[in-house]
A and B are shown apart, each in its own frame.
With several copies, the nearest count.
Chain A
């Protein structure tokens, strides 16, 4: 250690400094309890006269090498921090399963049955406008993605379903989706009459949806 002369000069002072092991304990306790990083000057200030916080820090730092926490330098101050490789322990993952909203599932169904389909077409079919959040959510879930642009005025983007979508619903292909006839045969079209009122509307969370005229999209 090259600090021997240093110690000697300090040895001249009236009170002998505590042993280095003690000083290390002190630095450890102060760094632990402090709400913010502590500078060497402050450490020396708080420790008994004659202590050498900088040297104690060297030992303490070595002691924590490879441990779950490290002594790290933050600017010109020091702090105890979690070892970077254990950062994942500081996260608590809670998995929540939520039911997809009606607007989202309808939009998804339209994309699946009519892909590639533009937003305007989805809105025409649903009879209500599609909120940005709904499309974003489906994109984020990676159940839909952008398809080719439609070669019509405005070159609107289209949406198509993804392999992740097919995977989730156990489909090999979007064409495997049951057709209207099968839906009817399965009793899925036996819904009650609508009195001309849109079914969705009220429960949809995108409440600003505008009801629009129905088009002839199903004449394919």
Chain B
């Protein structure tokens, strides 16, 4: 008996403290559900057996107290108050068969479920945080050895790549006639100019080779170019009627001489 009395007294004190705390410290609550959960604890019963009617009354008086203390309550606290006042009337009045939607009991049961679930999550959170935690109770390797990434690059190239590359270079070469080395080229214009000056003196058959410019006879490249140019020039001169050309046999020396006008 004495124990019970003691407990009641203690409860009363706790309740008072809690009520004071919530009024003074309303900002500390995380919304109406938090307040309801806090208030429900003062009922000292299993959350499943909570009296939602009583809870609604507790909440409404909490809001009243807050008003008298001129504590500004956020809108959702007032919305909850209005809803709980409605729930209270539903619970007190006999059910209206015309009324649609969930009954007062159903709404109360759901509120009780929500409170129980929130409490369960808070307990779970506390249990979680009470677990051994890494970096506090147990530790990972302090000196991890990095896995060195060895990147091995294999280069791919096929024989075809190789041949195409080579072909590309060679093709490039074949299509670069414009940058030919002029030093080793004797043009037909040059040959023509040279021969015009010389043919006047060529009264007898003379080998074409003797018309090659000085210094172009030895080097095969220069010789080829000079020969071709001189030959082309002599054909040009023949066309103009300035010279006559003859060749006794295939691959025999080509000879030319001045064409005398009077011979015609």
Contacts and interface: CB of A to CB of B under 8 A. Distances in A.
B162 A198 contact: no
Contact of B144 (A34, A87, A167): A34
Given A34-B143, A110-B169, A82 B138 contact: yes
Interface string A64-89: 00000000000000011111100100
A16 B124 CA distance: 39
Contacts of B167: 183, 188-189, 191
A23 B192 CA distance: 91
Given A90-B148, A194-B106, A196-B179, A178 B163 contact: yes
A179 interface: yes
Contacts of A91: 147-150
A168 B146 CA distance: 21
B31 A126 contact: yes
B184 to A, nearest CB: 9
Given A93-B152, A98-B153, A113 B134 contact: no
Contacts of A36: 140, 142-144
A55 B32 CA distance: 54
Interface residues of A, number: 69
A1 interface: no
Instruction: Name which of A80, A128, A196 has the most chain B CB atoms within 10 A of its CB.
Output: A196
Interface residues of B, number: 78
B139 A109 contact: no
Contact of B113 (A126, A192, A218): A192
Given A126-B30, A196-B101, A113 B114 contact: no
A35 interface: yes
A126 B118 contact: yes
Given A96-B154, A100-B157, A106-B168, A178 B110 contact: no
Interface in A191-218: 191-201, 213-214, 216, 218
B101 A82 contact: no
Instruction: Name which of A93, A102, A105 has the most chain B CB atoms within 10 A of its CB.
Output: A105
Nearest to B110: A194
Contact of B79 (A33, A95, A198, A213): A198
A127 B118 contact: yes
B133 A170 contact: yes
A79 B150 contact: no
A15 interface: no
A112 B114 CA distance: 18
Contacts of A81: 134, 138-140, 145
Contacts of B150: 91-94
The 9 closest A-B pairs by CB, nearest first: A127-B33, A128-B31, A109-B125, A33-B139, A109-B166, A33-B145, A87-B137, A95-B135, A84-B132
Given A33-B139, A92-B149, A100-B157, 13 more contacts: A90-B139, A96-B152, A97-B153, A99-B155, A102-B165, A106-B121, A126-B121, A169-B134, A179-B127, A188-B164, A188-B167, A194-B107, A195-B101
